[in-house]
């Protein structure tokens, strides 16, 4: 018997959860940018793709949105994460005021890598790079297949786990963890959305 | 929140929520030409709107403006909600659309849906709930026949004719032609039935308890299927799977072939519905075969692999029983 394809969960759904004053130019950075670019084309007038940001020729303030397909892969092009601050500064340079940078990373709380790894202290680094406001969303079950986006707050995660989460003993345990304020331990991926 | 969503919510009098959780992210909108993309997956997403205390206030379905099922849901709910007799069955809803997107907003109820409770229900309680819910579905159907005449309640449906396309789809998908011939024979024997509007996706996840009663949710497919007993079979079959969970050895139809108490109770519920809908045994058997065949064809197009395989196995069991000369009516409702 023939089989239908598994559904794909869009990776730009975060755009519905933020206010965007302009929706003209978007930049997709990373390998396999085509699928995401097609998705962003539904939200922006023009979408440009680039495999990396190294030697990227665009002028400052050229985009309303920069989204990376795979943060870890992009970081490999910046000396294994050593150039992360330069990368963020370059993203900030490319964005117009009010534009958004969106990157998804493995959740260091989930993976127990609070002291190292490319996702570590990203909020602070984004602020240092000049972003005004940084929001975090958990992507469940992962940023490769984001079926749900949950804001990083105890109230939102308790609501999600209570009304849409797992049932049975697993559900009770997850709700308890969320209710205790340890919700960051529950999800594999985080999407950072920062405002230029 | 995105300005378009904020404005759509404002147009139905709902203020911007303090926090928003995006759930069931299914496919990008816009752009979209139809609600299902090439892979057959639905498009759109749902939002859980939270107040400043983190309490959900609304569940908001966001779908492409081209989505026929969202339009159907908005239209059906708007018509049914005007009927005072249904105020205790249907949650308050709002709908709006603009620039490629349409919203159907339900007032949020804190109660967990029946699917999340079903595992804890004993047999007595489960079948009592099933009877109440199926009776509610019948009330909605009879009211819908009046307030939504365009859905064609009461028109004659020839089962063999209605099943032609699903049978062709299953044949193209490689289902054993002998099985399909056996199913087609029972459908043909079922002859013609009167259209009885069906919910189309009546299962425990679309039912919320409230007080001593129930809310019915999700009217995206309402009236798209009008063959009697569809909702009854779907509710009992999915309920069996929910309650048996990992303990389930076979399909619902397999369990109906047995003589245990659970099967007997299912037969009694179906028999009551057969009587209430004034079907004779052949019509009822044909309608039940219609359910299994239509559901399998639909699952084959859209459902995950596990559901597809399970429904195909169930259809094969049904066909094998027919080939052995067993009566679908006897197995499913104790009829001839």
Q: What is the ipTM of this complex?
A: 0.88
Tokens 């798209």 belong to B224
Calculate mean pLDDT across residues B302-320: 87
Compute the distance between CA of residue A132 and CA of residue A98 in angstroms, rounded to an integer: 9
Compute the distance between CA of residue B41 and CA of residue B303 in angstroms, rounded to an integer: 9
In this prediction the pTM is 0.83
Facing A146 at nearest CB: one of B19, B25, B308? B25
Q: Cβ of A153 and B19 within 8 Å?
A: yes
Do the Cβ atoms of B225 and B193 come closer than 8 Å? no
**Picking from A79-83, A118-122, B160-164, B196-200, which range would have the lowest pLDDT averaged per residue?**
A79-83
Report the pLDDT value the prediction gives residue B243, as an integer from 0 to 100. 86
On the question of pLDDT at B276 being above 80, the answer is yes
**Residues in A touching B42 (Cβ below 8 Å):** 7
Token pair recorded at residue A32: 């396999």
Report the pLDDT value the prediction gives residue B40, as an integer from 0 to 100. 44
3-state secondary structure of B260: coil
Interface of B with A in 293-332 (CB under 8 A): 300-305, 308, 312
**Picking from A1-5, B17-21, B69-73, B196-200, which range would have the lowest pLDDT averaged per residue?**
A1-5
Three-class DSSP labels, B11-69: HCCCCCCCEEEEEEEEECCCCCCCCECCCCCECEEEEEEECCCCCEEEEEEEEECCCHH
Per-residue pLDDT of chain A (196 residues; tens, 9 = 90+): 333 344 467 888 899 999 888 889 999 988 766 778 888 888 899 999 887 777 677 889 999 999 987 776 666 555 555 678 888 898 999 999 999 999 988 888 888 765 555 556 788 889 999 999 999 999 999 888 889 999 999 999 999 998 888 877 898 999 999 999 999 999 999 999 999 9
Compute the distance between CA of residue A81 and CA of residue A117 in angstroms, rounded to an integer: 8
**Residues in A touching B301 (Cβ below 8 Å):** 4
pLDDT digits (tens, 9 = 90+) for B222-272: 999 999 999 999 999 999 988 887 666 788 898 888 888 989 999 999 999
Q: In what order do the strands lie in the sheet with B56-64?
A: A46-50, A25-29, A63-68, A95-106, A189-195, A133-142, A145-151, B19-27, B44-50, B56-64, B101-107, B93-98
Token pair recorded at residue B31: 């752009």
pLDDT digits (tens, 9 = 90+) for B27-85: 666 544 445 544 444 688 999 999 999 999 999 999 888 888 888 999 999 999 989 88
Do the Cβ atoms of A135 and A194 come closer than 8 Å? yes
């Amino acid at each position: 018997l023939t089989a239908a394809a598994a559904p794909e969960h869009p990776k730009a759904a975060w755009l519905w959860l933020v206010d965007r004053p302009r929706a003209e130019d978007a930049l997709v950075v990373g390998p396999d940018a085509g699928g995401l670019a097609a998705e962003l084309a539904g939200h922006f007038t023009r979408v440009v793709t680039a495999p990396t940001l190294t030697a990227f020729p665009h002028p400052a303030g050229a985009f309303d949105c920069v989204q990376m397909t795979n943060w870890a892969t992009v970081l490999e092009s910046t000396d294994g994460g050593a150039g992360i601050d330069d990368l963020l500064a370059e993203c900030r340079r490319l964005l117009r005021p009010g534009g958004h940078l969106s990157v998804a990373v493995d959740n260091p709380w989930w993976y127990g890598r609070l002291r190292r790894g490319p996702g570590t202290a990203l909020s602070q680094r984004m602020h240092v790079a000049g972003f005004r406001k940084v929001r975090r969303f958990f992507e469940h079950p992962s940023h490769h297949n984001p079926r749900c986006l949950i804001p990083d707050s105890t109230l939102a995660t308790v609501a999600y786990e209570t009304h849409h989460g797992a049932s049975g003993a697993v559900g009770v345990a997850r709700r308890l963890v969320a209710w205790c304020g340890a919700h960051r331990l529950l999800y594999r991926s985080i999407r950072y959305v920062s405002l230029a | 929140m995105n300005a378009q969503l904020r404005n759509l919510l404002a147009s139905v009098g709902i203020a911007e929520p303090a926090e928003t959780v995006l759930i069931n992210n299914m496919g990008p909108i816009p752009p979209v030409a139809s609600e299902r993309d090439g892979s057959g997956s639905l498009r759109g997403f749902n939002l859980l709107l939270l107040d400043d205390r983190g309490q959900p206030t609304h569940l908001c379905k966001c779908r492409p403006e081209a989505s026929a099922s969202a339009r159907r849901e908005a239209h059906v709910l708007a018509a049914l909600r005007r009927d005072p007799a249904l105020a205790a069955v249907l949650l308050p809803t709002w709908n709006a659309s603009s620039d490629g997107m349409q919203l159907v907003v339900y007032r949020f109820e804190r109660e967990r849906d029946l699917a999340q409770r079903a595992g804890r229900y004993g047999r007595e309680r489960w079948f009592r709930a099933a009877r109440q819910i199926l009776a509610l579905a019948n009330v909605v159907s009879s009211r819908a026949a009046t307030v939504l005449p365009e859905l064609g309640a009461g028109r004659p449906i020839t089962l063999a004719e209605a099943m032609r396309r699903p049978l062709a789809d299953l044949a193209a998908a490689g289902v054993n032609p002998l099985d399909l011939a056996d199913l087609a024979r029972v459908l043909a024997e079922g002859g013609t039935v009167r259209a009885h509007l069906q919910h189309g996706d009546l299962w425990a996840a679309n039912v919320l308890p409230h007080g001593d009663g129930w809310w019915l949710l999700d009217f995206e497919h309402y009236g798209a299927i009008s063959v009697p007993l569809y909702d009854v079979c779907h509710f009992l079959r999915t309920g069996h799977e929910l309650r048996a969970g990992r303990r389930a050895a076979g399909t619902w139809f397999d369990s109906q072939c047995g003589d245990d108490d659970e099967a007997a109770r299912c037969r009694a519920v179906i028999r009551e519905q057969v009587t209430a809908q004034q079907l004779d045994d052949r019509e009822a058997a044909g309608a039940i075969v219609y359910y299994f065949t239509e559901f399998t064809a639909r699952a084959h197009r859209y459902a995950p692999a596990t559901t597809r395989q399970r429904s195909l196995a169930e259809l094969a069991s049904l066909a094998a029983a027919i080939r052995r000369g067993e009566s679908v009516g006897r197995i499913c409702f104790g009829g001839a």
